[in-house]
Amino acid sequence: EGLVKPVYIVCQRDPNQGQLFLQRTLGLVRETLYASVPWYFYDKMAVQVLISIVELINKTKSSYNHYVPMAVFLNSMKVAVSLTEVVLHSQLKKLDVSIWPKIMRHVMNTNLSKLTGLEELNLGSGSAGWDTT
């Protein structure tokens, strides 16, 4: 939640700089997160972070009302959904994309190339329900 306001301020000045600021911040958070957790907990940590992101997305959705400018709401949703990228790390071994909301699955599918160490991937209905292990 603390990332929303700085991103919004930068986006108002220059949308391209806002996107760059968000990507750099997400990269910093990702590296800090993975540097702070032993490698054998990466998969469990990723699931817990994703659960928190789902909660944040739901909280952001429910906080919308007609008195909040649409740009502020959309920026909040963009930041919340973009946090999904934080767990997409080259040392992640297992990812089940099918259990997460569609809005997060899109981010995961778009960034599959970052998951170079992946050993097990479940894409859900997009892969006809097959596990790609």
Determine the pLDDT at residue 27.
92
- Residues belonging to the chain: 133
Annotated domain spans of the chain: 4-132
CA atoms within 13 A on the CB side of 82: 21
In sequence order, which ranges of the chain are alpha helices (DSSP H)? 4-13, 15-35, 42-62, 70-82, 102-110
Tokens 């997160």, residue located:
33
What is the C-alpha to C-alpha distance for residues 16 and 1, in angstroms, rounded to an integer?
A: 21
Low-confidence ranges of the chain (pLDDT < 50): none
pTM: 0.85
